[in-house]
Structure 1
Amino acid sequence: MMNDFLDALPKEALENSKIMDLQIRSVKAHEAIDAILSQTVLKGGKRLRPLLTFLMAHLFRVDFETVVPYARASELVHASSLSHDDVIDNATMRRGAPSINILASNKRAVLAGDYLLSSVIVDLTNAGNLELVREMSLVIKDLTEGEWLQLDLIGDRNYTRELIREVAEKKTSSVMCYCSVAPAILSGADKATVDLCREFGRRLGLAFQLIDDTLDYSGDSQKDQELDLKNGIVNAVVYEMLDAHPAHFARFKKGEELIDAVKGIPFNAFVEKINTEAHSHLEAAKNILEELSVILSVVPEYKSNPEELQARIGGLELIISYMALRSH
């Protein structure tokens, strides 16, 4: 599936996402940080966020060299959130290898995540577009608020469907939004177009997170099997299961371990429900691409060559198709 997806993408966008340098340029005193990052959160990965940034740059006719700092920032800020997540989730594995908190320690994992965030802000400031520095500062704020909200929910167990979606928007959609709006802003697009791109990223992020929530219960995840259950984390699938079984939910709220409170309840129906919601977000994202196609059709280069516009829209539609296939 992954190879078919990659083979169908515009070659220039794909190559730029592959060869993009993610090494952190630090002084010698911080070589240990670089080493631990390269072995964990910066190791491997699909680079979906930089790829999305390059595909949006392709659509808005922004030179790839111009967009590199922003594509790089999207991956580094995502990696920083993984460093923090692994600590909060008590993870032991990440992408089939020991997670950063296991390879180093919880304290070093947190510091490494903070180091990545500071590197992102320095790099973006050097790139010189202050509007996109501000956009990224809002992303980092959202990531922090999302982590804090998730911790509050773990502590007080007052989960609601709305709060779980808010965590997803802050922790996942925020970065996808940045990937979508950065090229539009660099192209000089008007506010209405930028807002459409933001909504496109929001929908992609929600779909991505909801599908990710289902993978813990599909047997396909590389994360510890049912790690969220063991650590008392209620994701979208688990919430729907609890909401459908009030007695079990009440036991959990009173302090029973989550893995015990849900024991014996089958997940299949709730996995399917969340998959259906995720696909509705993907459909909305596809509709936004159609709106962007209409807006961009008046660009002189596209007006004289509408096939080129549709081909570039097609690259983004492949991202949507790939996300849909992850749920099967």
Structure 2
Amino acid sequence: MANSTMVPEFLLVAFAEILKLRVLHALLFLLMYLATLLGNLLIITATTLDQNLHTPMYFFLRNMSILDMCYISVTVPNACVNSFTDNRTISVAGCAAQIFLVIYCAFVELLFLTIMAYDRYVAICQPLHYPVIINHQFCVLITLVSLLSGLIYAGVHTGNIFRLSFCQYNVVHQFFCDIPSLLSLSCSDTFSNELLIFISAMGIYGGCFIFIAMSYLRIFSTVLKFPTREQGKAFSTCVPHLLVFSVFLGSGSGVYLRPSGASDTVLDMILSVFYTIVPPFLNPIIYSLRNKQVKEALRKVILRKFYSGKL
């Protein structure tokens, strides 16, 4: 990395140059960050302590919550500090670590969303086979495969970007280090990098999109045969999941699949918020905090802590 990279550090771009706007942006990010941590911690606590929630669906939700806490922690704290202090420098090693972690978390997030779509498909379309197909061994195995494959995927993309040379211009037009912004800075030929991004996007992300779309087509066709009351319950479970996935994949595709010469800094930064910050922020609200079982489990946990504290 030291041989191929000539610049000693990179400079990140803030959302605004005016101090008041910069502080406002930092406070907004900080509030979203704290709300995300709190929401996901509540889900982890409820699904861990309540025996009734020790099911495959809540196993995946707990893993998603842990991942979301890590995902949003990769970018937001550093962005808040940079906005408050107006210190936008990031070392080459720090930039490489941020790219690796963002790609890793985004990749595993996509796989978790895909697994959860499959879980909903089996639960609604094959309810009698659900305990056999979605058993404990399957849940643990598919989670480990997702986590390990994410290491390989993130390592390949991070290594591929930092074999390039970065000569003089070192301003990253983003509030965190990401691949598209660094590709536009490189003074090397980036065709192989762009080709790798395109192939992986079409193969992995496109494959997950097709799988989820097919799952929900079958789910909706099955749900339409239910009584009206049951239809509403099933749609309220599935539609939010589809919405989060669409926002996550659509915004990420808008940043990574756009030609490097057509980059728009402000638009890229806004789209990046929708695939790095919004999903971890919304997931607790959409998946669990609207769920009666989770709310009941949280109520029990809070009451237990309250009474034990009084005693």
Q: Which has the larger radius of gyration?
A: 2
Please report the TM-score for the alignment, with normalisation by the length of structure 2: 0.35
- Higher relative contact order structure (alpha carbons within 8 Å, sequence separation ≥ 6): 2
Please report the TM-score for the alignment, with normalisation by the length of structure 1: 0.34
